Each structure stands twice: as structure tokens, then as C-alpha cells.
């Protein structure tokens, strides 16, 4: 600054103006709402900036500081609220320029009188654009959060429905069938009736265990075993209960451990559903189960000698008709990145296979499986809080 312009006073005023701008920006979380509600704060900053500009001159570098005030007005107050501040800054600048403060030598050239004041609306527009960009970002984030919660809720609903169909629903259905036959057996053969009653009690306890596991989101203990051992146990258990001859071949996959317990869980669920379908719908008397791990592809096949399928399989039509068995198997395969195939061999029966490309434990499929397995348990508390809040509001 020229010496005649009281450099010390101007420098002190500049420091004061910088502090006035810095404090609210640094503590915006606490001070910002108050500044937004009370325009007097920014008006005082405009007044202080005008006094400094009058002491420094319209063509001084402090002019660019006042542009920041215009941008701040656009950010804080938006389009309508910032217009008075832009007009006030332009009027203050024109006053300083036309009177030639502080030396009282007016500057009437086009740059000073016309072009430089136009920078105030430009700064204001930049501030408004920044505000609207942030607002759109917040809106998109809120929308994305809502969509994510809705998607999580829908996926959780599908998962629970699938688990109900594959576990609890089948157990309860078996209970109902056995209970319906119990009166007739009591009349014909009390000994057999007593055995059926004990089986009913065992099935009821199993239903309670499955219900607790479903509510707590726990996986079956078999998911902790090597996949081949878990498949062998599941198939043998089914054969003992149903009386169907079940042959199991896991030689090519002995000792294989999947990248995630979720993969084992889904493989076992597909196996159980395929075995039940072979018994209930196919009337099979012989079932072969094979587990293979070849060329990085893990596959599980269930082949029976039943009546086979009546025609081409339309998963969507089955779901619409309320038959969720095959649709559930397909969804389970997709959740772990695998694929399900349903075939009719030339010699009859049905072959259901699930295939999954093997990945190392730290690979992307493993990570995706772990995330998919845990995501809904992490989101469930927030979804429950949101639901309870809605219920309280509606009450």
C-alpha cells in the first residue's frame, strides 16, 4: 500500500476482517445455523470490508477479499437471500471508486466502474452453485441411503422366506402330515402310534431349533465342517429318515473348505431341497449325490430316478404359483455368485447342479460372500430403529 494510506490501520483492519471470516468457518457446525438465520452477521462483514476498501482503494488487492464475501453470501443464503448482499457490495465498491477514496481522486475508467463490479455477481453465482451442488449431493445421499435400506429390507425378506421354505416350513408340514395319520394308527397299532408320537415330539423340537436359528441368523453347525463331510452327513441323514437309497461321491472334493461359511450353507440348503424334491415330487427310490472340484469349479449334483419334470422349467411361473423350491435354489446359487442348472437325463429322473468358480480365501468372491452374509445383520438394528420410529409416529 502507498505510505499515505495509513498502512498500519489498514493492516489491522484486514487482520480483523480475516478473523471475522475465519471464526464462523472454523466453527461452522455450531455457528453456521445462527449465521444462516441472522443476516446481520454477514452485513457487518460487508460493512467492515467496505471500510477497509475505502482505506485501501478500489483498485487495491483487498478488492478480491470482498469477492469472497459475495461467494460466502451465495453459499449461506442461496439465490434470493444473497442478492441484497451482492447489491450492497456493488454499491459500496462504486461509492469507493467514484469518490476515489482514500485519496479522493475518482477513478472513472471502464475497468473500475463497469467491469470489476461485475465480478461480484459472478462470485455470488459461484457460491450459489456450490450450495446447490452440496444440496443435491445431500439429497442423493439421503435417497441412496433410503434405497439401500429398502433393498436391504427386501433382501432380508427374501432370505427369511427362503429359510422358512427350506427349513421350518418343511418341518411343520411333516408334523402336520404325521399328526393327521396319528388317530388312525392309534386305533390300528398302538405301538406304531407311540413311535409316531415320539417322532412328532422330535420334529417339534427340531422346528423350535430351526425357528431360533432363523430368528438369530445363525448358520447350521455343519457350515463349520469341510464341505465334503457336511454334504455326506446331510445326504446320509436324509437317507436314514426317508428310506431312500442315497449314494454319495465326494472323492474329488475331499478336504475342500469353502471361502465362506455362507457358501457351505447355501450348498447344503440346495442339497436338502433337491433331496426333498426327489422324494416328494419325483417319487424317487434312488438318489446319487456328487461333489466335485475340478479346474477351479466347485460343483454339487443331485441326480434321482424319479418321474422327472413335466416339461421345461419356468422359474418365474413357479414363483407366481407359490412354488418356491426351485426358485429358492436358484436364488441361493446367485447369492454366492454361482449358477444352478436343472436337467432331465436321457434315462429319466432329474439332475440338479450348482456350480461355483473357486476363489482363494482373500479373493473377490470370498469377500463378496462375507459382505453379503453379514450386511443384513449389520443393517438390521438401524432398520428396526427406523420401523419403531415410524410406529411411534403413527401412534
Determine the length of the chain.
395
Per-residue confidence (pLDDT) for residue 291, from 0 to 100: 92
The 8-class DSSP code of residue 341 comes to E
> Looking at residue 304, what is its pLDDT?
92
Give the pLDDT confidence score for residue 345 in this predicted structure: 87
Total-model pTM = 0.45
**What is the side-by-side strand order in the sheet with 339-343?**
245-249, 286-294, 297-304, 350-357, 339-343
Tell me the residue ranges of DSSP E strands in the chain: 245-249, 286-294, 297-304, 339-343, 350-357
Report the distance separating Cα 227 and Cα 271, nearest Å. Answer: 12
pLDDT attached to residue 162: 66
Structural domains of the chain sorted by starting position, each given as residue range(s) with its CATH number in brackets: 3-145 (no CATH), 225-394 (3.30.565.10)
**Contact 38/24 with Cβ under 8 angstroms?**
no
At residue 302, the pLDDT reads: 94
Please report the pLDDT score of residue 371 as a whole number: 42
CB 43 within 8 A of CB 88: yes
Cell 478500489 found at: 58
In this prediction, residue 353 carries a pLDDT of: 93
Render each residue's pLDDT in the chain as its tens digit; 395 residues. 444 445 665 666 667 666 766 666 666 667 767 777 777 777 777 787 777 778 777 777 778 778 888 888 888 888 778 888 888 888 888 888 877 777 677 767 777 777 888 888 898 899 889 888 988 888 898 888 888 877 777 776 776 766 666 666 666 766 777 777 778 778 788 887 787 788 777 777 777 766 765 665 545 555 567 888 889 988 988 888 788 899 999 887 777 776 677 888 889 889 988 988 888 878 889 999 999 988 888 999 999 998 887 767 677 766 665 556 788 888 888 888 899 998 888 888 899 999 998 654 444 444 444 444 444 444 444 444 554 555 555 45
Amino acid at each position: 500500500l502507498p505510505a499515505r494510506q495509513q498502512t498500519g490501520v489498514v493492516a489491522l483492519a484486514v487482520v480483523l476482517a480475516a478473523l471475522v471470516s475465519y471464526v464462523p468457518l472454523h466453527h461452522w457446525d455450531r455457528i453456521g445455523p445462527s449465521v444462516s438465520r441472522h443476516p446481520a452477521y454477514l452485513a457487518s462483514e460487508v460493512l467492515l470490508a467496505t471500510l477497509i476498501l475505502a482505506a485501501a482503494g478500489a483498485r487495491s488487492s483487498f478488492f478480491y477479499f470482498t469477492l469472497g464475501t459475495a461467494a460466502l453470501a451465495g453459499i449461506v443464503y442461496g439465490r434470493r437471500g444473497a442478492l441484497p448482499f451482492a447489491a450492497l457490495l456493488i454499491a459500496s465498491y462504486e461509492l469507493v471508486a467514484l469518490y476515489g477514496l482514500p485519496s479522493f481522486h475518482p477513478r472513472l475508467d471502464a475497468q473500475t466502474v463497469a467491469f470489476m463490479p461485475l465480478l461480484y455477481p459472478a462470485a455470488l453465482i459461484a457460491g450459489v452453485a456450490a450450495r446447490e451442488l452440496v444440496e443435491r449431493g445431500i439429497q442423493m445421499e439421503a435417497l441412496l441411503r433410503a434405497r439401500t435400506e429398502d433393498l436391504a429390507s427386501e433382501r432380508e425378506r427374501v432370505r427369511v422366506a427362503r429359510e422358512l421354505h427350506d427349513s421350518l416350513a418343511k418341518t411343520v408340514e411333516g408334523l402336520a402330515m404325521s399328526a393327521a395319520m396319528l388317530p388312525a394308527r392309534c386305533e390300528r397299532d398302538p405301538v406304531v402310534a407311540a413311535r409316531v408320537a415320539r417322532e412328532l415330539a422330535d420334529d417339534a423340537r427340531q422346528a423350535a431349533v430351526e425357528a431360533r436359528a432363523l430368528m438369530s441368523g445363525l448358520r447350521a453347525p455343519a457350515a463349520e465342517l469341510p464341505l465334503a463331510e457336511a454334504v455326506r452327513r446331510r445326504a446320509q441323514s436324509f437317507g436314514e429318515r426317508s428310506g431312500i437309497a442315497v449314494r454319495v461321491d465326494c472323492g474329488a472334493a475331499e478336504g475342500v473348505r469353502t471361502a465362506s461359511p455362507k457358501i457351505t450353507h447355501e450348498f447344503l440348503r440346495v442339497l436338502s431341497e433337491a433331496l426333498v424334491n426327489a422324494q416328494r415330487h419325483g417319487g424317487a427310490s434312488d438318489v446319487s449325490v456328487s461333489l466335485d472340484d475340478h479346474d477351479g469349479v466347485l460343483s454339487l449334483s443331485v441326480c434321482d430316478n424319479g418321474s422327472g419334470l413335466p416339461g421345461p422349467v419356468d422359474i418365474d411361473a413357479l414363483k407366481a404359483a407359490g412354488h418356491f423350491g426351485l426358485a429358492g435354489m436358484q436364488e441361493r446359487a446367485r447369492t454366492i455368485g454361482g449358477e444352478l442348472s436343472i436337467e432331465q437325463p436321457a434315462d429319466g429322473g432329474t439332475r440338479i447342479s450348482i456350480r461355483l468358480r473357486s476363489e482363494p480365501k482373500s479373493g473377490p468372491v470370498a469377500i463378496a460372500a462375507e459382505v453379503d452374509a453379514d450386511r443384513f445383520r449389520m443393517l438390521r438394528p438401524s432398520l428396526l430403529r427406523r420401523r419403531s420410529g415410524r410406529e411411534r409416529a403413527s401412534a
